[in-house]
Each structure stands twice: as C-alpha cells, then as structure tokens.
Amino acid sequence: MQGTVAEFDEPKGYGTVRSEDGQSFFFHCTQIADGTRTIPEGAEVEFEVVPGRNGRWEATDIKRR
C-alpha cells in the first residue's frame, strides 16, 4: 500500500500512517524498514498491512518513497 505518515511520537516510538484511500494504520518504530526508528510526519511511504493487537490492522515494512 502507499500513503503518508499522519503522526509519529518519537519519544513513545509509535505513529499512524494513512493510506491513499483514507484508512489509518497504527505502527511501531520497529516496523520502519531502514532501521532508523524515526520517520517525519508527512513522509510518503509504502507499507504492508498485517493483523495486529486487539483485532486491528497495523502497518509493517514501512519504506519511504
């Protein structure tokens, strides 16, 4: 999927990506593919969606475009 980083809380290590169709997906900093553990809000990204905790979908393998 493709989208943008809607929000990212660096001290807590998690954020949200919004897909091109408007869906929002939680992600943890360990899911950023380049290993940096930080990504700026507004960054255009590609990502995969997997089943996460509490029955919700989460973003993984997040890569900047």
Q: What is the pLDDT of residue 1?
A: 97
Instruction: Residue 23: name the closest of 53, 54, 47, 41 by CA.
Output: 47
pLDDT tens digits for 47-60? 999 999 888 999 99
Q: What is the pLDDT of residue 51?
A: 96
- What is the tally of structural domains in the chain? 1
Instruction: Residue 32: name the closest of 11, 62, 6 by CA.
Output: 62
Strands (E) across 2-65 are located at 2-9, 14-19, 24-28, 44-51, 57-64
CATH code of the domain covering residue 8: 2.40.50.140
pTM (predicted TM-score): 0.93
Which domain does 10 fall in, by range? 2-64
pLDDT tens digits for 1-58? 999 999 999 999 999 999 999 999 999 999 999 999 999 999 999 999 999 988 899 9
Residues 6+ apart with CB under 8 A from 37: 13, 29, 30
